[in-house]
Amino acid sequence: DADGYKVFRLTLQADGRSRFLPGLTTATWGINGAYLGPTVRATRGDRVRMVITNRTPDPSTLHWHGMLLPAAMDGGPHQMIEPGATWSPQWTLDQPASSLWFHPHPHEATAVQVYRGLAGMFLVDEPGGPKLPDTYGVDDIPLIIQDKRFHEDGSLDEDDVDTGPYGFLGDVILINGTYRPVFKVQAQSVRFRLLNASSARVYQVGFSDGRTFHVVGTDSGLTEHPIAVKRLTLSPGERAEIVVRFTAGEETVMNSRGDDSSDIQEGDFDLLRLEAAPTLAASPPLPAALAQPAARPPAGATVRTFELSGTHNIDGTKMDMNRIDTVVPAGAREIWEVRNNGKAHNFHVHGADFRILDRAGQPPQRYETGPKDTVFVPPNSNVRLAVNFTRYTDPTGPYMYHCHILRHEDKGMMGQFVVV
C-alpha cells in the first residue's frame, strides 16, 4: 500500500462446501476459500500488514506460528477477533527463510477450528540464500498433512475433537485438502515443505521404496547441511523441508509408518502418490552448506525447567490468561529443559526459535539439529533446548508456550511469558 506495506487480506469463512470423498460434499471452514488458506509469501525485510476478517460465527484469532514479531501482533489468545470484526496486525519480517504457518489460537477452542479447515502456510524468503529448488508448485511444493474422519454422508466426524486423552485421531489423511492425492512430479530434485497441521497425530515420513532423501530445513530455517535420512518424525505444528530426487518415469508413495509408543504414533498411512515425468529435467546439485552453524548457548545461560504432566498441566497448573508464568529478558538466550513423565506431548514456544541440545543427555538425531519452534517430547523423556528469544519487548503482552496437541492446548497445557 501507500506506506510501503505488503497487504494480505485473509477472511475466515465457515460456509465451505468441500469435495474430499468421491461424490460427497463436506461442510468445512476455510480462509479465503472453502478449506485451508492461501500460501502467504513475503521476503525478509518486507513490512507486512494482515487484514483479517472473521466471517465465522465464533470468536477466533489468527496466530503466525514461528514468526518473530511483537506480542501484540502474535495472534494468540489475547488478540481475539469477534464474529464480523477485522484485526490488522503489521510488522517487519526479520528472520531467516523458513516455512511457517498460521492458524486460529482462541483460548480453549483451537482444535475444532483448525480441524474444520482454518490453517495455511506462510513462507519467508530471503534473498541470497543457497540454491534450492524454488519454483512454487513445480519443484517447491507445500504439503499440509492432516488426518480426518468422515461420516457416511461425507460430513466431518468431530467426535473426540474435544474429548479423550489426545483428542482427535482420524483414519483418513488429506494432503492440502486432497483425498488420495496423486502428484505428477518432475523427474528432478524436488523440495517438499511438510507441515503437520493435524490435531494430535505424529507422522514418520518416508517413502514406500525406502529411498534416502535430504532434510534441508526444520521449523524456523535451513539446516547447516543437507542431512540424508530415510524417515523423519513430524509431530503437530512441526515442519520439515526435504529434497527428494526423482528419476524419469518412476513411481513411489510418500507414506508414514507408525510405532506403538503411544496412540498418536500408531498406524501406517499413505500420504502422497508420486508419478515422475517420463523425461529427466535438469536439477542443480544440492549445496553442501546451507546455513551458519548454531551458536552454542552462552556460558551461565539461565536454565528453566518445565514439567509436562499427564493431566494437561505444565508445572502443575493450567493456562491462566491473567497469569504471567515467566519473564524473559529481551534477546535472551536460555536453556529450557522440558521434562515429560507421562504420555506423548510436544512443546512449542512463541516469539523464539531454538535448537535441540539433547534428548535425555544424548545428542538429537542429525535431522533435528536445525532451527526449531516445536519439538516432539515422547512419553517419559526429557529434552533440553537452547532458546533464542525475540528482542520485541512488551511487559504486559504475553507470548505462549504449550503442547501443540490441540486437545492438550485447549485443556490448558500452556503457559505465558513476557519479554522485557
| Positions in the binding site for Cu ion (CB under 5 A) | 65, 345, 350, 403, 405, 408
Q: Which does 352 bind (CB under 5 to 8 A by kind): ligand C2O, Cu ion, none?
A: none
Alpha-carbon distances of 256 from 175, 176, 206, rounded to whole Å:
13, 16, 6
Q: Name which of 250 and 315 has its Cβ closer to ligand C2O.
A: 315
Smallest separation, CB 22 to ligand C2O (Å): 32
Q: Which does 237 bind (CB under 5 to 8 A by kind): ligand C2O, Cu ion, none?
A: ligand C2O
Q: Which does 225 bind (CB under 5 to 8 A by kind): Cu ion, ligand C2O, none?
A: none
Q: List, in sequence order, every residue forming a beta bridge with 156; answer none if it has no partner.
A: 150
CB-closest chain residue to ligand C2O: 65
Q: Which does 105 bind (CB under 5 to 8 A by kind): ligand C2O, Cu ion, none?
A: ligand C2O
* Distance between CA atoms of residues 357 and 28, nearest Å: 40
Q: Name which of 402 and 408 has its Cβ closer to ligand C2O.
A: 402
Q: Name which of 132 and 400 has its Cβ closer to ligand C2O.
A: 400
* Interacting span for ligand C2O (CB under 6 A) from 140-148, 282-290, 303-311, 397-405: 397-405
237 binds ligand C2O (CB under 6 A): yes
Q: Which residues contact 124 (CB under 8 A, 6 or more apart)?
A: 42, 43, 44, 93, 95, 96, 97, 98, 99, 100
What's the distance, CA 313 to chain centroid?
Answer: 22
Smallest separation, CB 1 to ligand C2O (Å): 28
Q: Is 357 in a helix, a strand, or coil?
A: strand
* Interacting span for ligand C2O (CB under 6 A) from 41-49, 89-97, 115-123, 400-408: 400-408
* Distance between CA atoms of residues 34 and 17, nearest Å: 6
Q: Which amino acid is at 270?
A: D
Smallest separation, CB 408 to Cu ion (Å): 3
312 in Cβ contact with 344 (< 8 Å): no
* Distance between CA atoms of residues 14 and 235, nearest Å: 27
Smallest separation, CB 404 to ligand C2O (Å): 6
Environment class of residue 84 by beta-carbon count within 10 Å: exposed (0-12), middle (13-18) or buried (19+)? exposed
**Residue 177 DSSP code:** T
Query: CA neighbours within 13 Å on the CB side: how many for 385?
Result: 27
* Interacting span for ligand C2O (CB under 6 A) from 129-137, 169-177, 309-317, 398-406: 398-406
Q: Name which of 310 and 364 has its Cβ closer to Cu ion.
A: 310
The 331-350 contact track toward ligand C2O, x by CB under 6 A, reads: -----------------x-x
413 in Cβ contact with 114 (< 8 Å): no
Alpha-carbon distances of 216 from 66, 192, 355, 386, rounded to whole Å:
17, 10, 15, 20
What's the distance, CA 157 to chain centroid?
Answer: 23
Q: Which does 273 bind (CB under 5 to 8 A by kind): Cu ion, ligand C2O, none?
A: none
Smallest separation, CB 79 to ligand C2O (Å): 12
Q: Name which of 226 and 237 has its Cβ closer to ligand C2O.
A: 237
380: left (phi over 0), alpha (psi -120 to 50) or beta: left
The 64-83 contact track toward ligand C2O, x by CB under 6 A, reads: -x------------------
- H-only helix segments in 265-317: none
Q: What is the largest CA-CA distance in the chain?
A: 62
Q: Which does 405 bind (CB under 5 to 8 A by kind): ligand C2O, Cu ion, none?
A: Cu ion
Q: Name which of 177 and 378 has its Cβ closer to Cu ion.
A: 378
Smallest separation, CB 239 to ligand C2O (Å): 11
Q: Which one among 400, 403, 405, 419 touches ligand C2O, defined by CB under 6 A?
A: 400
Environment class of residue 282 by beta-carbon count within 10 Å: exposed (0-12), middle (13-18) or buried (19+)? exposed
Q: Which one among 148, 402, 408, 411 touches ligand C2O, defined by CB under 6 A?
A: 402
The 93-132 contact track toward ligand C2O, x by CB under 6 A, reads: ----------x-x---------------------------
DSSP state letters, 310-338:
TTTEETTB---TT---EEE-TT-EEEEEE
Smallest separation, CB 113 to ligand C2O (Å): 12
Say how many C-beta atoms besides its own lie within 10 A of residue 142's C-beta.
21
63 binds ligand C2O (CB under 6 A): yes
Q: Name which of 156 and 413 has its Cβ closer to ligand C2O.
A: 413
- Positions touching ligand C2O (CB under 6 A) are 63, 65, 103, 105, 237, 348, 350, 400, 402, 404
